[in-house]
Chains A and B, each alone.
Chain A
Amino acid sequence: MEDIDKILEDLAQVERAMPSEQFLKRMENVAVAYVVVRSKMSKTTVLAIAASFALLLTANIWIWNEFQSTTTESTTLVETDYDLIPTKSIYYE
């Protein structure tokens, strides 16, 4: 291999690679699509969607907690009722 400076000079002679026309068209479409989506989805819309999701999540958690407490209560009731039944009935003696 020749001297590094000579090879680097060859490297400096490398022609600038240009992207294909097809690729450039694709980039144009990507940019247009980005701008269209952005203009359609204003900041307020995004915030409204995010707030709705947060509200939905809170409601879900609240309903789930309510459901859990109701289930626990009824289980406790059943268990209490069961405990009240005498283990040994006099009628069977």
Chain B
Amino acid sequence: MRTFARVVSNWVYHLILSYVQNVEDAEEITQDVVLAALRGLKNYQQAASLKTWVYRIAINKSKDFLKYKNRKKRLGKVVSIFSSDNQSILHQGVDFVHPGIALEHQEDVIRLMKTIDRLAEHQKTALILVKLEHKTQKEVAAIMQLTPKAVEGLVSRAKNNLRRLLKDEIEQ
């Protein structure tokens, strides 16, 4: 069990960190993933590889977390309208510095990570899996339960949207 927890944490931590862009949140979600994997291990069907299955859990948990966080953020904004205390706005955008980024690229990559965060959920997932997790289109397709062709389309659309969003940002 100890080894299982260690292996699962190592598999998903980087992906979750790229997804939520916050170390504390990533650790919290990783713990949830480990527990969910332990709970579901009994019912795990070998249709997909263990790693693919764990990746799916990690992506779903990250998405749920971001939805919860956004709900909280919206509620914080509503509360702040009725109160003079501006500190009630939760989770203000913070410049997240990915631990693995070389110093000379930090500014560009921070901007890019922020823009990736604005992409549609599926595009964001596909791009992170391909570019940051170095997964092949076939592997991504298995994780996202799509066809490799669909993954290719998602990555291509993600790139186009990134290009457009970054251009808009520069023009502003």
Interface membership of B166, Cβ < 8 A = yes
Give chain A residues whose Cβ lies under 8 Å from the Cβ of B1: 28, 31-32, 34-35
Number of B interface residues at 8 Å Cβ cutoff, please give it: 36
Interface of B is mostly: helix
Interface membership of B17, Cβ < 8 A = yes
Contact status A31-B34, CB under 8 Å? yes
Give chain B residues whose Cβ lies under 8 Å from the Cβ of A46: none
Flag B151-172 by CB within 8 Å of A: 1 or 0 each: 0000000010011001000100
Q: Which bucket holds chain A's interface residue count?
A: 20 to 34
Interface of A is mostly: helix
Give chain B residues whose Cβ lies under 8 Å from the Cβ of A16: 14, 100
Q: Which residues does A use to contact B, with CB under 8 Å?
A: 1-2, 4-5, 7-8, 10-19, 23-24, 26-28, 30-32, 34-35
6 A-B interface contacts by CB (under 8 A): A4-B159, A14-B98, A14-B101, A31-B4, A31-B34, A34-B38
